[in-house]
Amino acid sequence: MTLPSLFVAHGSPMLALEDNGYTRFLENLGQELPTPEAIAVFSAHWDTPDQSFSVDESHDTMHDFYGFPEEMYELRYPAPGSAKLSQRIGQLFEAGNLPNQPVRGRGLDHGAWVVLQKMYPDANIPVVELSVDSRRSPAEQYAIGAMLTELRRQDVLIVGSGGLVHNLRLIGQSGGEADPWAVEFDDWVTEQLESWKINELFEYAKKAPHARQAVPSYGSEHFIPLFYAMGAADDDRQAKRLFQDYQYGNLSLNCWMFGS
């Protein structure tokens, strides 16, 4: 069995407590996908120039946010780690001549656990978290994801967790219609993904409408997990959008599946 890879928006940390169309979608997605043996998740909230990955037997839950209700800080997602998967990830990075750093004791940040808490609430599937590097080119990010392609044939679910439109300086405080510029940017990304136009996507900063608003220079780390997840499906270049919505006017909640 070959699992797909996923790009999943983690939105606001409050998704952990919310019950809405997107959270219900994530809950259903976890039930509809074949149950993975383990999960490897690239998180926007671990941005480092050294390609890092967790090697813990069990994970603490990081509450790497502030100003939220006290209930948020009481949530725990005690997923186990996987020594087997961590070791294989290191081997694949070595085979790809990618300098890498195993990390112990960091815990799962909210980019990882908020999504996984909805998809796999029992926290019984081993998780290895991986960093992203916003200083690398999209082509390099894609290539790093491609180093892990074989894991999908070994019942490992590869997830990129971030957000295609994620500019906290522009979000609104009320509901209502999505901002047109955010929709136009997402529509452009959709067109490229559905045709797997990776060269166009690699040039998104120059070619996509409203790219500076959707992916600000200070915040590209939320967009780039897309490339890691795509790269992991380089052997089966198919893309399908599973969900699309917005919160606060332009914070996009989207999920893409790559590979068949």
Rg for the chain (alpha carbons), in Å? Answer: 17
Local structure of 131: helix, strand or coil: strand
pTM of the entire structure?
0.97
pLDDT of 116:
98
Pairing type for strands 5-9 and 251-258 reads antiparallel
Give the list of residues 6+ apart from residue 103 with CB closer than 8 angstroms, or none: 52, 53, 54, 55
44 and 145 Cβ atoms separated by less than 8 Å: no
Local structure of 245: helix, strand or coil: strand
C-alpha dist (Å) from residue 213 to 44, 75, 127, 141, 187: 18, 32, 33, 22, 14
Q: What is the dihedral of CA 48, 74, 123, 101, to 10 degrees?
A: 20
Tokens (6 digits) for 259: 């590979």
- In a structure prediction context, what are the per-residue pLDDT tens digits for the chain, which is 260 residues long? 799 999 999 999 999 999 999 999 999 999 999 999 999 999 999 999 999 999 999 999 999 999 999 999 999 999 999 999 999 999 999 999 999 999 999 999 999 999 999 999 999 999 999 999 999 999 999 999 999 999 999 999 999 999 999 998 888 755 678 999 999 999 999 999 999 999 999 999 999 999 999 999 888 999 999 999 999 999 999 999 999 999 999 999 999 999 97
Cα–Cα dist 125/83, whole Å: 13
**Phi, psi angle pair for 67, to nearest 5°:** 85, 15
* Matching residue, tokens 């996509």: 208
Domains identified in the chain and CATH numbers: 5-258 (3.40.830.10)
Tokens (6 digits) for 96: 């790809």
Cα–Cα dist 213/1, whole Å: 40
pLDDT of 173:
57
pLDDT of 174:
54
Strand partners, 252: 246
